[in-house]
């Protein structure tokens, strides 16, 4: 029985290592993509939606056009103080035959009482700096 658990644990460890290896093979975003992602995050926090839209691909602009009330409500939930640390915690590249490619970079912003996970997607690594998709989640104390 102990042998089965040892084998199962080994399989789980090695499968996790394989995923880490795959992620390590995905390149970091280009300096232009990093800049676009940061500017979009800053514009969202500042509720500067007109400028935020300039970072988006036309399809994403169309999705959020005329949705400013919802965007304002969402943006008010983001911490306004300066973040303590920012780091990339994940990179994913999806290449499905029936959809355009999607390169997603997940940033983690650490604040005093909150942690923000910011997912920003582009067409491919070192590709366009126009944002294809965006998602933000806030963890920690509720922001009033």
Q: Which residue has the tokens 């169309």?
A: 62
As a whole number, mean pLDDT of residues 39-65 equals: 93
As a whole number, mean pLDDT of residues 57-65 equals: 89
Residue-level pLDDT at 90: 96
pLDDT tens per residue across span 74-113: 788 899 999 999 999 999 999 887 888 899 999 999 999 9
Residue-level pLDDT at 144: 60
Residue 13 in this model has a pLDDT that exceeds 50: no
Q: Which CATH architecture has domain 29-140?
A: Roll (3.10)
State CA 24 to chain mean position distance: 17
More confident residue, 21 or 129: 129
As a whole number, mean pLDDT of residues 60-78 equals: 82
pLDDT band at 71; cut points 50, 70, 90: confident
Residue-level pLDDT at 93: 95
52-68: burial string, b at 16+ Cβ within 10 Å, e else: bbebbbeebeeeeeeee
pTM of structure:
0.79
As a whole number, mean pLDDT of residues 55-72 equals: 85
As a whole number, mean pLDDT of residues 60-86 equals: 86
């Amino acid at each position: 029985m102990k042998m089965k658990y040892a084998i199962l644990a080994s399989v789980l460890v090695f499968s996790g290592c394989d995923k880490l290896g795959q992620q390590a093979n995905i390149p970091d975003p280009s300096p232009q993509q990093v800049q676009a992602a940061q500017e979009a995050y800053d514009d969202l926090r500042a509720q500067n939606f007109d400028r935020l839209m300039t970072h988006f691909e036309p399809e994403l602009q169309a999705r959020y056009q005329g949705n400013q009330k919802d965007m304002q409500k969402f943006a008010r939930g983001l911490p306004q103080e300066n973040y303590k640390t920012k780091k990339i915690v994940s990179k994913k590249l999806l290449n499905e035959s029936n959809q355009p490619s999607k390169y997603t970079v997940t940033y983690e912003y650490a604040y005093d009482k909150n942690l923000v996970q910011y997912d920003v997607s582009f067409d491919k690594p070192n590709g366009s700096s126009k944002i294809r998709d965006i998602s933000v989640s806030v963890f920690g104390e509720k922001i009033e």
